[in-house]
Structures are given as C-alpha cells and as structure tokens.
C-alpha cells in the first residue's frame, strides 16, 4: 500500500464516496480547496451558441444540424454513462439521439474538423484542459441532473495525512497558501501536452509570467535556516 503525506488532487464531488469516509475516520485531513471554478458538462463551439444553442433544452430543436449525435470519449467512462442514461430517459427530448464513443483525442479531432467547416457539434467538455485554449467553447446550462449543479461545477482540495500540519508546519503553511486558477492550469496543460515541455518548465514559465503568484504562495514561509522563503525562491529562479 502506498502511503502519501500530501495529495493536491482530491477532486470533489467525484471522490466524495472515497474521501468523506476517510475524513470521518480521521485517516485524512482536508487542508484547503486549491482550485475552484472547474466545469464538466456538454459544450458546443461558440458559433453554435451564437446561433441559439446555449442550454440542453436547445439541442433537440436543432437535432438535424447535430445529426442527432453527441460525440463522447472512451466507452465505459462515467461521463458516457451519464449521457447514455440521459438518452435512455429521453431527457431534453434526446431519446432518439446517439452517442458516438471514441477517445478523448478522437472526440477532439471531431470537434476540430467541425470547427474548420463551421459544422455543428456537441460533446462533453471540462476544465482545466487544453481544449479551453484551443477552441472557442460555450458550456451548456441546464444539465444539472446528469452532470451536477452549475455546469458540473467541481473543486480540487489539498489533503494530507493526519497531524501533517503539526509535524511540518512550514510546508503546511506553503500548502495552505497555494491556490491555482482554471486559466493558469489550462495554459500550463496546453504547454505540456501540446508543446512537449516538461512540467517543471511549464511551472517556471507560468511563474515568470505571473511572479505575483509567489508573493501569495510564500507569505509566511521560511527556508530551513529561517530566512524569508520568497526572497530565496525568487533568487533561485532568477526573478
């Protein structure tokens, strides 16, 4: 069994069933929310939204333009199961639509082809993800029953083992300070996945563009010698 001190990727509410029981048993401590404003629901290109498709209720009335088709990711994915349930329920009048199951890359290739010729396409989108920097997307409203409230809104939390903050107060202070934005992560993921740079390079590049991030992250954090951590990190990065 792998034992971790820190995990910055507790995605909620998707991991509620796993995490809540551990917190209740005292096996895990929630330190803070480090990312909010995430979304995961159906989306269309902006030109489709500008033509009037802004909610789930707008899909069926434009069925012919969409070829009564939703493009999804790999078979068995939870989002695909949600969409299949939506079709089975004839929710939003989509009972005679079909779901094309492919892969994340296959789905996005379809989106790219559609955008090139201004064709209509609807598909599940989420952020953070590089797709939000590559395409002009509009997330659809009204799908709460199948994707969750507020366009599948989610948050990511930093969790630690019990007593971590007491054992490592300086590092815990850094973690308590560290929050991210969807825009920041979209851009960094695009640089890593699309441009092939390393995670360290993407992080350094992002900090160089937004050095004010360090001011917030390192407030009250010190070096091993007890000196201000902000000055040490800026010196190390050449900022």
Mean pLDDT throughout 106-128? 95
CA–CA distance from 140 to each of 3, 75, 103, 117 (Å)?
Answer: 40, 22, 21, 21
Asked if residue 95 and residue 67 are part of one domain, the reply reads: yes
Please report, for the domain that includes residue 234, its CATH number: 3.40.190.10
Using CB atoms within 10 Å of the CB of residue 229, give its burial: 0 to 12 exposed, 13 to 18 middle, 19+ buried.
buried
Asked if residue 135 and residue 48 are part of one domain, the reply reads: yes
The total domain count for the chain is: 2
Buried b (16+ CB within 10 A) or exposed e, 147-158: bbeebbbbebbb
Please report, for the domain that includes residue 67, its CATH number: 3.40.190.100
Mean pLDDT throughout 104-110? 95
Asked if residue 174 and residue 93 are part of one domain, the reply reads: no
Distance CA 162, CA 175 (A): 15
Strand partners, 149: none
Residue ranges making up the domain that contains 74? 40-146
Asked whether residue 1 carries a pLDDT value surpassing 80, the answer given is: no
Predicted pLDDT of residue 202: 94
**157 lies in some domain:** no
Using CB atoms within 10 Å of the CB of residue 6, give its burial: 0 to 12 exposed, 13 to 18 middle, 19+ buried.
middle
Predicted pLDDT of residue 2: 56
**201 lies in some domain:** yes
């Amino acid at each position: 069994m792998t034992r971790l001190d820190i995990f910055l990727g507790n995605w909620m509410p998707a991991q509620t069933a796993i995490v809540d029981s551990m917190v209740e048993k005292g096996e895990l401590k929630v330190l803070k929310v480090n990312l909010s404003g995430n979304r995961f629901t159906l989306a269309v290109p902006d030109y489709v939204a500008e033509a009037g498709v802004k909610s789930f209720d707008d899909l069926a009335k434009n069925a012919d333009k969409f070829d009564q088709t939703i493009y999804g990711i790999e078979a068995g994915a939870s989002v695909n199961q949600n969409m299949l349930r939506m079709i089975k329920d004839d929710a939003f009048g989509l009972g005679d639509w079909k779901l094309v199951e492919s892969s994340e890359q296959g789905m996005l290739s379809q989106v790219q082809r559609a955008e090139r010729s201004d064709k209509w396409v609807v598909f599940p989108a989420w952020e953070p993800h590089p797709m939000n920097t590559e395409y002009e997307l509009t997330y659809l409203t009204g799908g709460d029953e199948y994707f969750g409230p507020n366009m599948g809104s989610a948050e990511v939390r930093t969790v630690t083992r019990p007593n971590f903050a007491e054992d490592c107060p300086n590092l815990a202070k850094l973690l308590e300070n560290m929050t991210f934005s969807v825009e920041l992560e979209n851009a960094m993921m695009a640089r890593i996945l699309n441009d092939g740079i390393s995670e360290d390079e993407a992080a350094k590049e992002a900090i160089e563009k937004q050095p004010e991030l360090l001011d917030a992250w390192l407030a009250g954090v010190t070096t091993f010698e007890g000196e201000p951590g902000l000055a040490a990190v800026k010196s190390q990065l050449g900022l």
